[in-house]
Amino acid sequence: MPGLKKRSVNLAGHATSVALEPEFWAVLEDMSKERRVSLAALIADLDSRRGESLLASFCRLSALAFVQQKAAAPRRKRA
């Protein structure tokens, strides 16, 4: 697995960077496309909902939840 990939984002008027594995960035990009928002807007939304969690950790958990929902969707349709 390749190392972390850093991306710069502007959150609430402050420049910051988020470092995630490329696989998580790919899922976040899929999430942003499905929601029809930019990746920056998606990360800003996640930042607003993360509470005390670290942003990178919350991004990973959100990406995991997205993938799990996608995987469960075909099973729900069959039931």
What digits encode the pLDDT tens for the residues 11-56?
989 999 999 999 999 999 999 999 999 999 999 999 999 999 999 9
Q: What is the pTM of this model?
A: 0.86
Task: Determine the pLDDT at residue 42.
Answer: 96
Residue 73 pLDDT class (50, 70, 90 cuts): confident
| Residue that the structure tokens 């998580």 belong to | 24
CB 2 within 8 A of CB 21: yes
Nearest residue to 46 via CA among 69, 67, 18: 18
The CA-atom distances, in angstroms, between 49 and each of 3, 5, 8, 67, 76 are 26, 23, 19, 19, 27
